[in-house]
Amino acid sequence: MLNEFSLIRRYFSRHKNSSDAAILSVGDDCALLAPTPGKVLAVSTDMLVEGRHFFAGADARALGHKTLAVNLSDLAAMGATPRAFTLALALPAIDEAWLADFSDGLYALAERAGCALIGGDTTKGPLTLCVTVFGDVDAHTALRRDAARDGDDIWISGTLGDARLALGALRDEWPLDAHALDAARRAMDQPEPRLALGAALAGVAHAALDISDGLAGDLMHILERSDMSARVDLDALPRSTLLARQPADIQRLCTAAGGDDYELCFTAPVDARARIEDAGARAGVRVTRVGTITAFNAEAHANAGAARLVWTDGRGQPVTPALRGFDHFND
Amino acid sequence: MLNEFSLIRRYFSRHKNSSDAAILSVGDDCALLAPTPGKVLAVSTDMLVEGRHFFAGADARALGHKTLAVNLSDLAAMGATPRAFTLALALPAIDEAWLADFSDGLYALAERAGCALIGGDTTKGPLTLCVTVFGDVDAHTALRRDAARDGDDIWISGTLGDARLALGALRDEWPLDAHALDAARRAMDQPEPRLALGAALAGVAHAALDISDGLAGDLMHILERSDMSARVDLDALPRSTLLARQPADIQRLCTAAGGDDYELCFTAPVDARARIEDAGARAGVRVTRVGTITAFNAEAHANAGAARLVWTDGRGQPVTPALRGFDHFND
């Protein structure tokens, strides 16, 4: 049986790319890391728990991909370029086939993203994965949540809702044929962090975040931190042809409040539209305008309960869909 | 009931010291952080799992302290100065009294160490705590594991074994009266990261690490990475008066192979003895010489099974105590 140290060595020291990113890497008390001159480090951490963020028995290779992808997505949302990551994992037992597949999925994305494993921790416990990721970013052009301005367009990358469509089918909330479920499940299991788009938006867009808990809840973070309001066209939210074939109420729920999308939601001035379209084209990612940032009227909000986030239909008429964000404690 | 976001805000945004350490902190997709000019960032991550690293029902305030302390100890072992940390936690339920106590213990140490919470993640799941910690260090004087040299003294900070003494009593491996258990348990629950000592040793000592899994196993990491051997005097290992009153075999097990000590083990040239003693005095921490680094004889090792790490008694005679390190998968 492998002990803890040989386990770490065998599965997480195979690739030597870590030496390119860090001065000192896996195997010491700390890794040593510095941002590229002129940049600062963007740092984010996410924890994934079995039964909460993924099903028990989830495919290990896909899980390796997703564990890193959700963290890289946070870098994309800042406009940062990946440099390195640490991985802490609790495993119920040492399963070498699982470890081989998990590390394959993890490293495939890490190498594609230029992101080196520089340290970690392994322990016994309920299956839990915690990644902390580091990227280079220019502190002056980083895409912050508090930077949305009155009149900005609101944009969404890619399409929304396929992951929620798969989750609902797996939870028996709605029917979905096997072929459609398979396609939707790929979106849930293999999200693609929008790194090239995020980097291209730095210095062009104003505010940005990645949609992990559903647009309705996540956009509110931009609005609250920027002290702005917004109007968003529910019917304009980009969706796959697969989702567009589902009933209208499922489409609205999945696009506006589905979690696990890992697309970018960002705001940009109207005169940047051509540059945004160009950034999307260069990154190979569709970008769609879905609404407008407006000034926040604190008085109307306090006196009349006016919402910060107003949903409209395709004709600009306000609608009040039954939506809620994905809350890890309340759903 | 608090939702995830208000929970994070209430308990982990109380203190505003984070703005001093980071350009951008809790509440965006990423925190933005840069090392102090001329330094690099030392980065370490540790995951603590209930039932593995602490008992179910452990005092929340002590747990808050220990969660950060074990990470700060890794910074101390590099000679780094704390700057910031992220915290990811999985909680089985929202228990406000627990959160208040946990965050009290965490922040008390964080503020004392000058280490700011700059980001995190909260989710539902089996109680699991994952901290990633960042410190400033000079890349040229950082205390690495691969820097031990032939003839170096081997030093230990503080005393070893009290945490293991408490654990053994709690596991019914040996008897311990209530008063002694209480004192030993404080060592287990409230380890003090040797930050001032570690910083004073940078540029003076050669190799260092913190003893988390027991000296026997941890010293081997220095020996293997430095390609050296060592002789260590079992009877010279520093121990508390409490442990010194226990049977000899328990003393040896606890000092040489006890986990959870978080003292520093470091090597330094003989001509640095006065500076080491001075560093200990200034940091208010006892430092004890316990052995010597020697050249590794690969041939003797291969042909005769000569051990890298030779234990001796107080008269220099080799002894072979029944010791083993603390392995998170095998114990």
Where do the domains of chain B lie?
A: 4-137, 153-319
Name the pLDDT band for B56 (thresholds 50, 70, 90): confident
Of the listed ranges A307-316, B284-293, B295-304, the one predicted with least confidence: B295-304
Residue corresponding to tokens 């963020």: A53
The string of pLDDT tens digits covering residues B142-190 is 999 999 999 999 999 999 999 999 999 999 999 999 999 999 999 999 9
pLDDT mean over B115-133: 92
For B29, the closest chain A residue by CA position comes to A74
Q: Which amino acid makes up residue A256?
A: A
CB contact under 8 A, B30 and A43: yes
Check if the beta carbon of residue B90 is closer than 8 Å to that of residue B124. Answer: yes
Class of domain A153-319: alpha beta
Check if the beta carbon of residue A84 is closer than 8 Å to that of residue A36. Answer: no
B24 CB neighbours in chain A (<8 A) are 142, 144
3-state secondary structure string across chain A: CCCHHHHHHHHHCCCCCHHHHCCECECECCEEECCCCCCEEEEEEEEEEECCCECCCCCHHHHHHHHHHHHHHHHHHHCCEEEEEEEEEEECCCCHHHHHHHHHHHHHHHHHHCCEEEEEEEEECCCEEEEEEEEEECCCCCCECCCCCCCCEEEEECCCCHHHHHHHHHCCCCCCCHHHHHHHHHHHHCCCCCHHHHHHHCCCCCEEEEECCCHHHHHHHHHHHHCEEEEEEHHHCCCCHHHHCCCHHHHHHHHHHCCCCCEEEEEECHHHHHHHHHHHHHHCCCEEEEEEEEECCHHHHHHHCCCCEEEECCCCCEECCCCCCCCCCCC
Encoded tokens for B138: 């000079």
Whether residue B198 is predicted with pLDDT greater than 60 in this model: the reply is yes
What pLDDT does B1 receive?
A: 35
CB contact under 8 A, B145 and A27: yes
CB contact under 8 A, A47 and B210: no
A53 CB neighbours in chain B (<8 A) are 123
Encoded tokens for A146: 């508090």
Q: What are the φ/ψ torsions at residue A275 (nearest 5 degrees)?
A: -70, -35
A27 CB neighbours in chain B (<8 A) are 145, 221, 225
For A86, the closest chain B residue by CA position comes to B45
The helix/strand/coil state of B21 is helix
Say which of B30, B123, B209 has its CB closest to residue A47.
Answer: B123
What pLDDT does A21 receive?
A: 65
Of the listed ranges A53-57, A270-274, B45-49, B265-269, the one predicted with least confidence: A53-57
Which distant-in-sequence residues (6+ apart) come within 8 Å of B60 by Cβ?
A: B97, B98, B99, B101, B102, B105
d(CA B8, CA B206): 41
B7 CB neighbours in chain A (<8 A) are 329
The CATH homologous superfamily for domain B4-137 is: PurM-like, N-terminal domain (3.30.1330.10)
Strands of the sheet with B128-137, listed across from one edge: A31-33, B40-49, B128-137, B81-91, B116-124
A44 CB neighbours in chain B (<8 A) are 29-31, 86, 119
Say which of B4, B78, B221 has its CB closest to residue A30.
Answer: B78
The secondary element (H helix, E strand) that includes residue B188 is helix B178-189
Burial level of B270, CB count in 10 A (0-12/13-18/19+)?
A: exposed
Dihedral in degrees, nearest 10, Cα atoms B39, A74, B2, A146: 80
d(CA A54, CA B311): 48
Pick the more confident residue, A102 or B12.
Answer: A102
Q: Name the binding residues of A.
A: 29, 44-46, 53, 74, 120-121, 145, 210, 212-213, 260, 326
Say which of B29, B80, B128 has its CB closest to residue A30.
Answer: B80
For B91, the closest chain A residue by CA position comes to A329
Q: Which residues of B16-48 are buried (b: 16+ CB within 10 A; e: fewer)?
A: ebbeebbbbbbbbbbbbbbbeeebbbbbbbbbb
Name the pLDDT band for B326 (thresholds 50, 70, 90): very low
d(CA B5, CA A238): 27
User: For A33, what's the count of Cα atoms within 13 Å in the CB-facing half-sphere?
Assistant: 35
CB contact under 8 A, A121 and B4: no
CB contact under 8 A, A132 and B30: no
d(CA A325, CA A323): 7
CB contact under 8 A, B123 and A49: yes
CB contact under 8 A, B29 and A52: no
The secondary element (H helix, E strand) that includes residue B310 is strand B309-312
For B130, the closest chain A residue by CA position comes to A130
Residue corresponding to tokens 């005092």: B59
CB contact under 8 A, B126 and A49: yes
Write the ipTM.
0.87
d(CA B165, CA B162): 5
d(CA B128, CA B84): 20
CB contact under 8 A, A130 and B46: no
User: Can you give the pLDDT of all 331 residues of chain A as single tens digits?
Assistant: 345 556 666 777 665 544 466 667 777 889 999 999 999 999 999 999 998 888 888 899 999 999 999 999 999 999 999 999 999 999 998 888 999 999 999 999 999 999 999 988 888 899 999 999 999 999 999 999 999 999 999 999 999 999 999 999 999 999 999 999 999 999 999 999 999 999 999 999 999 999 998 999 999 999 999 999 999 999 999 999 999 999 999 999 999 999 899 999 999 999 999 999 999 999 999 999 999 999 988 887 777 767 899 999 989 899 887 765 444 444 4
What pLDDT does A141 receive?
A: 92
Say which of B49, B119, B221 has its CB closest to residue A44.
Answer: B119
Residue from B5, B43, B50, B145 to probe the interface with A (highest A Cβ count within 10 Å)? B43
Encoded tokens for B115: 């280490």
Say which of B32, B45, B124 has its CB closest to residue A329.
Answer: B124
Name the pLDDT band for B9 (thresholds 50, 70, 90): low
Dihedral in degrees, nearest 10, Cα atoms B195, B197, B198, B203: 140
For B125, the closest chain A residue by CA position comes to A49
In Å, how far is A317's CA from the nearest CA of chain B? Answer: 31
The secondary element (H helix, E strand) that includes residue B291 is strand B287-295
The secondary structure of residue B54, as a DSSP letter, is B
What are the Cα distances from residue B319, in Å, to B35, B231, B294? 46, 11, 17
Say which of B24, B35, B44 has its CB closest to residue A144.
Answer: B24
CB contact under 8 A, A44 and B30: yes
Burial level of A57, CB count in 10 A (0-12/13-18/19+)?
A: exposed
The string of pLDDT tens digits covering residues B78-114 is 999 999 999 999 999 888 899 999 999 999 999 999 9
What pLDDT does A325 receive?
A: 46
What pLDDT does A52 receive?
A: 86
Check if the beta carbon of residue B231 is closer than 8 Å to that of residue B308. Answer: no
Say which of B29, B89, B118 has its CB closest to residue A210.
Answer: B29
